[in-house]
Amino acid sequence: MKYDVLFLHPPRFNKDNFIYPIFPTGLIPLADLIDQQGYSTKIINLSLEQILNPTKEIKDILKNFESNIFAIDLHWWSHSYDSIELARLCKEIYPNSKIILGGITASFFAQEIINRFNFIDYIILGEAEFTFPKLVTYITKNNNNEIKFLPNLVFRNNNQTKTNPIKYTATSSDLNKLNFTNFKLLHNFHNHLKLRRHPQLYDSELPWLENRMGISLGRGCKYNCCFCGGSCSAFKLHSNRTKMSLRSTDHIIQDIKTMDELGIHQSFLSHSSVVSEKYWNNLLKKIKQEKIEPKLHLELWQPISPKIILKLNKLSTILTANILAMSINQKTRNKIGIQYSNFFLKKSINKFKKQDLIFQISTYSNLPFQSKQTEQNNRIYCEKLRKKDIKAENIEQGISLEPASLMFLTPNKFQIKTNIRNFTDYYNSLKNKQTTYDPSFYTTKTN
């Protein structure tokens, strides 16, 4: 079958490299908008196809998916090589197709990417819900004149690169109109439920890792963690977003219900750390009113009230949480933008343990301002927690250097040295390295 539009999540072209098979949740509502316009469309996770067909070449897999338009996500920097090579391959197999890139990394490096790789036709800047459906229509109708005026777009015009500035960011009202659970548009949906972030965990039976799909609470952030490409300052740079937009709790409840009906074991809540206590209380109230028993996972980059977590635990069939404490040293945490105090951390751990909450503590090596002694203390701390039957892990490879993050923009301020200064550096490094999580992207003063 030939499609009008295919959304592609990249596979792994460097076979020695780490594979990250989880696609951005924003692809589903975007595909739904295209479906509503009457175009034939699917989301194809080529990482998953690669896992399911380990002996097949990507080129052979891609020959099964013909389309007039290929929309490829370049959201996370870890796909800097793979997304580009996928775009190259699509144009090689289907030379008359149009190639569109989007996502945080594509947005931040849009000029560099489109100038270097002539097989990429368009790059969406920031959020795509306004521009992308119109672009699809104009391409289909061969209406090049209208394309010239679309906002949030980088493209070629008479062999010259043209950039139309970002004028659209989704409001809460916009987000409430989107469908985040139209999973019928996801090719091989049921196999996605077996996916983990790591390929060796595919089809794992560990309760901690059972099938999850993401629920988007909103967009933007109010924090400025120095390592994050989705921080408050980073969102301003790559998406022109100046404030958060949150979906209504009614829509979150509906998503939870839909996922439960589809047999999804657990819903991963994005923005768990950044929504207000008022928002949480409103969500908790509606969970209770609707008499649903959600199965939820939270990633807590910033502290939220233990009372909220414990209330949520009582209402949930399953609740797991990952507390990303980053470092056992409070001064280090505060310098990199993590607001956990040692007192709050200890208090939360004790309360969660007492209530039998399934949770994990994560610390990291290779952080700015963190001494070798503190790194060793992180390991000792995690070991002590494990002896108390608390899941704890020190991430030895360190935190990644993300485009648009404060560490990327101002490395001297964070006392790091890096050899990654542009998109080409990411691309070349991932082309040659044997992992996408590589501390050699930067060194700290203590390394």
pLDDT band at 208 (very low <50, low <70, confident <90, very high): very low
- pLDDT given at position 203: 40
Residue type, position 410, single letter: T
pLDDT at 190: 84
SS3 258: helix
- CATH architecture assignment, domain 2-164: 3-Layer(aba) Sandwich (3.40)
Query: Does pLDDT of 209 surpass 90?
Result: no
Question: Is the pLDDT higher at 392 or at 284?
Answer: 284
Beta bridge partners of residue 245, listed in sequence order: 219
| Share above pLDDT 70 across residues of the chain, in percent, rounded to a whole number | 93
pLDDT attached to residue 299: 86
CATH superfamily of 205-444: Aldolase class I (3.20.20.70)
Q: What is the pLDDT, as a whole number, of residue 16?
A: 65
pLDDT of residue 437: 53
Q: Please, where in the chain does CATH 3.40.50.2300 lie?
A: 2-164
Q: Give the range among 163-177, 292-306, 408-422 with minimum mean pLDDT.
A: 292-306
Q: What's the distance, CA 20 to chain centroid? A: 10
**What is 13-30 written as a DSSP string?**
SSTTS----PPPTTHHHH
Q: Which residue has the higher pLDDT, 13 or 107?
A: 107
CB 187 within 8 A of CB 43: yes
What average pLDDT does the chain have? 90
Nearest to 374 by CA among 442, 323, 443, 447: 447
Write out pLDDT tens, residues 24-45: 999 999 999 999 999 999 999 9
Q: 56-70, 258-272, 362-376: lowest mean pLDDT where? A: 258-272
Query: At 360, which helix (H) or strand (E)?
Result: strand 358-364
Residue 397 has pLDDT above 60, yes or no: yes
Residue 439 reports pLDDT greater than 60: no
Q: pLDDT digits over 291-338, tens only?
A: 998 988 888 888 888 889 889 988 988 888 888 899 999 999 999 999
User: Can you tell me the mean pLDDT for 194-199?
Assistant: 56
Higher pLDDT, 90 or 446: 90
Give the pLDDT band of residue 391 (cuts 50, 70, 90). Answer: confident
Cα–Cα distance, 312 to 250 (Å, whole number): 16
Tokens of 260: 């439960």
* Helix (H) or strand (E) run with residue 442 in it: strand 442-444
Token pair of 102, please?
Answer: 């989007």
Range(s) within the chain of domains with CATH label 3.20.20.70? 205-444
Query: Is residue 361 over pLDDT 60?
Result: yes
pLDDT at position 193 is: 79
Per-residue confidence at 445, pLDDT binned at 50, 70, 90?
confident
Token pair belonging to 432: 């040659």
Is the model's pLDDT at 283 over the cut of 50? yes
The mean pLDDT value for 62-74 works out to 97
Classify residue 47 by burial, with Cβ atoms within 10 Å: 0-12, 13-18, 19+.
Answer: buried
Question: How far is it, in rounded angstroms, from Cα 322 to Cα 391?
Answer: 9
